[in-house]
Structure 1
Amino acid sequence: MGYFATGTVRDNRIEHCPVESIKVVAKKERGYYDYRFEKLSETFVVRWNDNSVVTVASTCHTISLLSNVSRYSKKISSKIKIPQPNMVTAYNKHMGGVDLCDNLISTYRIKIRGKKWWWPIFTNFIDVALVNSWKIWKFVNRDDKKSLLAFRREVTNYLLRTPVKIEKNSSTGHASQFALQCENLIDSSGHYLSKIIDGKRRRCRYCHTHSRYMCQTCQIALHIKCFKDFHNI
């Protein structure tokens, strides 16, 4: 498909590749390897005996050049040098990208639950996009030490302050009353309205009755209907 890849594979994933079996390779000395090359798909497979038998497949690396790696030998109670195919060296050098991404996602994962089966997949797409965007940001702005949490907060604040146009289309029906009210929740100066975090009601600065909403920029309580009128004073 035009993509290059290198990774470990299980024994039952290489189909009829005539590479020596795991049992045979395991009885060989440490550092022993056997390999095959499939011309049609240009796939290289190597089976290498280390602490255990490892099978690596690649569409961009081969076994050469061999490198020597240090391993501890119980027989002589000291470290020895054993040959390592280039495919295994490249895999060890670049592995861990997916694991690192999963680790970063789990740190600040979106925890809003939904009843739809596709909701976890959708929120995971957002988390992956944020982590990848943060990585690109760090690469472009190497002097900026902005953390992932700070980056997510900045993206969230930007989205909250960006006005959203609600298009009224006869084919999709009329916009709900709540959606129409949301047009007034964000004004041109960046003020936005949201629910009070502690849930306690406060007196609206405009009509002086209790409200569960407040302007996060002004830090004052306001109703949805009072938000626009107050900021036009």
Structure 2
Amino acid sequence: MPNKPNKYGLKIYALVDAKSFHVVNLEIYPGKQPPGPYALSNKAFDVADRLVAPISKTNRNITFDNWFTSYPLMLHLLKEHILTSTGTVRKNKREIPKQMLQTRNRDVHSSLIGFQKDISLVSYMQKKNKVVLVMSTLHHDNKIDSTTLEKMKPEMITFYNQTKGGVDVVDELCSNYNVARNTKRWPIVIFYAAINSIIIYKANNNCSLPRRDFLRDLGLGLISEHLQNRKNNQYLPKELRKRIQDHLGESSKEPPNKVARSIRRCKICPTKKDRKTKYVCYKCNCYICMEHAFFTCENCTRSQDE
């Protein structure tokens, strides 16, 4: 897509909540598919009809851009799915009256509004020789938003501006934490940002958590089972095993290092024997050979100490 900042990538159609930015539905654009069960229409009407399926007949409003907006689609959403819709309109649509497209002898910030039974169309003169067209099945009056002051924007225009940014915000959230490398495995490219999970987590726990910390904890949670299995590998380097235990919050169970002792002459044996040993008495710490040593169990040793 030459007009986009990122010209190459996977194209995704998304249905996103405009306030919480919760992603309701996604559809990856696969291009033209061969005949078969996966050969679906990529027309705007059919794509929108599939995307709104999870919220059909819920009396919500759908806001989309001029690629989707059409007179037949908006009436279809209203009658079949019980959903209102608002969107900008391309000027080459056949259903637009010519009077709505004229810019001559029109004042800047002026509006022309047309009404039918179920749909409204506004032509707003944004600046000289430029009009903005917005179609809506939600608005049925000519109210002007008083907060826009001298610009005198109709409520259809301000409502569209307030609700159009859901998909753009999700794109930005995904790009901020995109850690996928250059790969041909497209599932890895798609699965790189957890947006819905943190929204649901914050709503259920009524808390404020930085997204970076949540993604770190989520990533460690997803690999915890793999780390548990890998930790039990007896050939794993000690440093790597310790790092895994730190991530899992476990204490290190590595055996203590053996204390290297020097070899010296037995203190009890005669000097002329020159008998060397590495064993010491546990009380006086003197070097003794095995001939002069005797062994006790741990219980006897504890009772003697007491």
TM-score, reference length from structure 2:
0.45
Q: 2:136 corresponds to which residue? A: 58
Structure 2 partner of 1:217 = 244
Q: Kindly indicate whether the alpha-carbon contact (under 8 Å) linking 2:183 and 2:189 is maintained by their aligned counterparts in 1.
A: no
Distance (Å, rounded) in 1 between the aligned partners of 2:238 and 2:94: 66
The aligned amino acid for 2:163 is H
CA shift, 1:49, in A, is 0.9
CA contact (8 A) 2:86 2:137 kept: yes
Which position in structure 2 is the counterpart of 1:173?
none
**8 Å contact kept, 1:68–1:82:** no
Report the alpha carbon displacement of residue 21 of structure 1 after superposing the two structures with TM: 4.3
Higher strand share: 1
Provide the rounded CA distance (Å) in 2 between the counterparts of 1:136 and 1:210: 39
SS at match of 1:34: strand
Give the Å deviation of 1:9.
2.6
CA distance in 2, matches of 1:63, 1:19: 21
1:113 and 1:43, CA in 2 relative to 1: closer, same or farther beyond 3 A?
farther
C-alpha contact 2:113 2:122 (8 A) present in aligned 1 = yes
Q: Which residue of 1 aligns with 2:228?
A: 186
Q: The residue matched to 1:6 in structure 2 has which SS?
A: strand
Tell me the equivalent position of 1:124. Answer: 190
- Is 2:208 the partner of 1:145? yes
Letter in 2 for 1:146: L
How many angstroms apart in 2 are the aligned matches of 1:210 and 1:97? 47
CA distance in 1, matches of 2:243, 2:90: 54
What secondary structure does 1:145 align onto?
coil
CA–CA separation in structure 1 for the residues paired with 2:87 and 2:99: 18
5 Å matches for 1:172-183?
Answer: none
Bigger shift: residues 101-110 or 89-98: 89-98
Aligned to 1:18: 97
Kindly provide the CA deviation profile for residues 162-191 of structure 1, in whole angstroms up to 9, marking residues without a partner as x: x4xxxxxxxxxxxxxxxxxx6xx525xxxx
Could you give the per-residue CA deviations for residues 53-98 of structure 1, whole angstroms, max 9, x where no partner exists? 2111222223432223556xxxxxxxxx243221112122333222
Match for residue 107 of structure 2 among 1, 4, 29 = 29
Contact 2:126 2:132 in 1 (8 A): yes
> Which residue matches 1:166?
none
Q: How many residues align?
A: 166
Q: Which runs of 5+ in 1 are unaligned?
A: 72-80, 164-181, 194-203, 221-229
Output one character per residue of 1:189-233: Cα deviation in whole Å (capped at 9) or x when no partner. xxx65xxxxxxxxxx9x55x868954543259xxxxxxxxx89xx
Aligned to 1:62, the other structure's residue is in SS state: coil
Q: 1:91 aligns with which of 141, 147, 160?
A: 160
Per-residue deviation, 1:107: 0.4
Instruction: Give the partner amino acid of 1:45.
Output: L
CA–CA distance in structure 2, aligned partners of residues 69 and 27 of structure 1: 26
Q: Say if 1:44 and 1:58, in contact at 8 Å, map to a contact too.
A: yes
SS at 2:135 equivalent: strand
Q: How many percent of aligned residue pairs carry the same amino acid?
A: 25
Counterpart residue type for residue 135 of structure 1: I
8 Å Cα contact 1:19/1:47 also seen in 2: no
From the superposition, tell whether residues 133 and 38 of structure 1 become closer, same or farther in structure 2 (CA, over 3 Å): farther
Report the alpha carbon displacement of residue 32 of structure 1 after superposing the two structures with TM. 1.9
State how far apart, in whole Å, the 2-side matches of 1:215 and 1:113 are.
31
**Aligned-residue offset at 1:114:** 2.4
Larger Rg: 2
Structure 2 CA distance, aligned partners of 1:54 and 1:16? 15
* Structure 1: distance between partners of 2:204 and 2:143: 33
Q: 1:64 to 1:35 in 2, by over 3 A?
A: closer
Cα distance, 1:108 vs structure 2: 0.1
Q: 1:91 to 1:26 in 2, by over 3 A?
A: farther
Distance 1:157-1:6 versus aligned 2 partners, 3 A rule: same
**Matched-pair contact (CA < 8 Å) for 1:46–1:63:** no
